[in-house]
Structure 1
Amino acid sequence: MNAAQIYPCQVMHQRLFPVQYRFRYRIVSALFDIDRLDALARDRRWFSLNRFNLFSLYTRDHGRRDGSPWRPWIEARLAEHGVQLDGGRIRLLAMPRILGYAFNPLSVWYCEHRDGRPRAVLLEVRNTFGEHHHYLLHEDGAPIRWPVRATKPKRFHVSPFIDMTPFYTFRLGEPGESLRIAIQEYQDNELMLIATQSGQAREFSDRNLLRTFAAMPWATAKIMVLIHWQALKIWLRGGRYHRKPKPPAQEVS
């Protein structure tokens, strides 16, 4: 099994009401086996762990966000909800830093039991206010099936033009040769927003890292620019502004 894969992706957002818009943009994500990061970094010239490079990954960007190892953190969060992996594989889908910068609106932890069957998917959501929250998709410790489907009430403020009353539906395919993530947001049981991410896997090689950089040199930096640009357009079209509430007390819902 691969220690990592690159996914050049298309992200699509479509809002149906009260302000309508639709946009697409390209990003680069990577799927990392969290137990093989040190070896991956040693074997790649253009990728580093916890230090600057063309592409890099920092442990302080996820988990406890203090630079500590990820596995104890995520296993503890899963155990709080009755999910045990017994040392099974955990993979993180995230945008790596490019030239030291990345902003991940959505990162995904794919969690398997030692027997190889998936047990949980943890969706890590970040907003532009420096806050984050996690939505856990699971079956109380029982194996889950691909594609993973779930419905969750909204617990975390993301867009200032959407209040806290909606709920989400999630559909995630098994990450392999292709990647498929779909999130729908409903308000008053009416579909309001659709967000998708899709891509095809490439080998996590130095050659492909250079090719990816040549094709999307500012892929991570442009995310923040696009978020604020779209927010401005929504505001100019009459979008209603909602003040940011306090983040949820619980780290996982």
Structure 2
Amino acid sequence: MEAVYLVGSIASTTVTSCLLSLSLAVRSLLFRALASPARNPGGSEPSTNGGGGGDGDIPAVRLYEGRVRHARRRPVPHDFEYPVRYALIDLDRAPPQLRPSHLSADRAREVAATNGPVLLLTIPASVGYEQNPLSVYYCYDAAGEQEQEGDVSSSRLRMCIAEVTNTPWGERVLFVFNPGSDLVAKPLHVSPFMDMLGNWSMHADAPGEDLSIAISVEHPTLGNYFTATLHAKQVYSSSSSLNLATFFWMMPHKVAIWIYWQALKLWWKNVPFLQHPKYINPMYRDDALIRDQELRCCPSIGGSKNHSIHTSDEDNKYRWRVFSWSS
């Protein structure tokens, strides 16, 4: 069933993306033809304030370019990196089309128990396709009543919410973590070349002119055998739908291709391919909850009492979304 869905999804996405890419090209040509010669092509303006300042001029959408790097040490060494583009979106001020499948600012504040601005780092959908392995909500605490809307310079980054999606299953989990350092029990079958026994060590710096995120896997038998990092630099600020469509054109598709290509390389290196844990242990989510509770009860070994992982049950720690085809 999953293989059939994958083939059908690839075919459908290819047709849809080709048609929408043609439409985008026509829109872009018309815009350039009708725009004033004095206007900056594309209408986007390079950022000069680096996301800093507190004068109310911080843009609602900031665009970043950077690189994602993965480094695996066991059972075989395997390193790679690829270029990526992200949007950092102020959820209180962003255009609605940029956040159709994400938490609202109010919901993120409720989940993270914060009261300030919420910034979402994500790869927006492009020409009908969405591929977003990791999105991060930066949840701030307001410094005082005089704080201006969207002003994070006088706020304190208190918590982050990670939104992780696996490929090709399309399942999603959200969990809260302390950006300084936190340890979270692995809640999702993110890679078919990793089992469910590892814990994720999380770190995220407050975004500005530069941003960075680091995740490492701590395994009971393999040790710290895998690290993933994102380092990016702000390049533009724009909320124009045409600018965003052009800037992120085919970005999700490229991410998907890199994921499948690296999976093929791991398979070629004889790294064991593991089927989805739901076929072996239908209670794998409950097991993740138990392990996460143990980490939070023992912060001295790396866990944090502050992180939480949400489900539809407000008393639990994870929030999963599962597509019907993968149920």
TM-score, normalised via structure 1 length: 0.76
Partner of residue 219 from structure 1, selected from 251, 262, 270: 251
Partners of 2:109 and 2:118 within 8 A in 1: no
> Greater strand percent: which structure?
1
1:92 aligns with 2:120: yes
Residues in 2 aligned to 1:130 and 1:15: alpha-carbon distance in whole angstroms: 23
Matched residue SS, 1:148: coil
1:192-238 C-alpha deviation (Å, 9 max, x unpaired): 1111111111232379x859947x74222111111111111111211
Matched residue SS, 1:196: strand
1:212/1:7 Cα in 2 relative to 1: closer, same or farther (>3 Å)? farther
Number of aligned residues = 214
1:158/1:245 Cα in 2 relative to 1: closer, same or farther (>3 Å)? same
Deviates more, 1:8-17 or 1:225-234: 225-234
Q: Which has the larger radius of gyration?
A: 2
Q: After TM superposition, list the pairs within 5 Å mapping 1:1-253 onto structure 2.
A: 1-38=58-95, 49-50=96-97, 57-59=98-100, 61-63=101-103, 70-78=104-112, 83=113, 85-86=114-115, 88-115=116-143, 116-128=155-167, 129-138=169-178, 148-188=180-220, 190-205=223-238, 213=246, 217-246=249-278, 248=285, 250-251=310-311, 252-253=317-318
Partners of 2:126 and 2:245 within 8 A in 1: no
1:121/1:213 Cα in 2 relative to 1: closer, same or farther (>3 Å)? same
The answer for unaligned runs of 5 or more in structure 1 is 39-48, 51-56, 64-69, 139-146
Residues in 1 aligned to 2:271 and 2:174: alpha-carbon distance in whole angstroms: 27
1:213/1:163 Cα in 2 relative to 1: closer, same or farther (>3 Å)? same
1:90-130 C-alpha deviation (Å, 9 max, x unpaired): 01000112223221100000001222222210111000101
The percent of aligned pairs where both chains have the same amino acid is: 31
> Greater helix percent: which structure?
2
TM-score, normalised via structure 2 length: 0.60
1:191/1:35 Cα in 2 relative to 1: closer, same or farther (>3 Å)? same
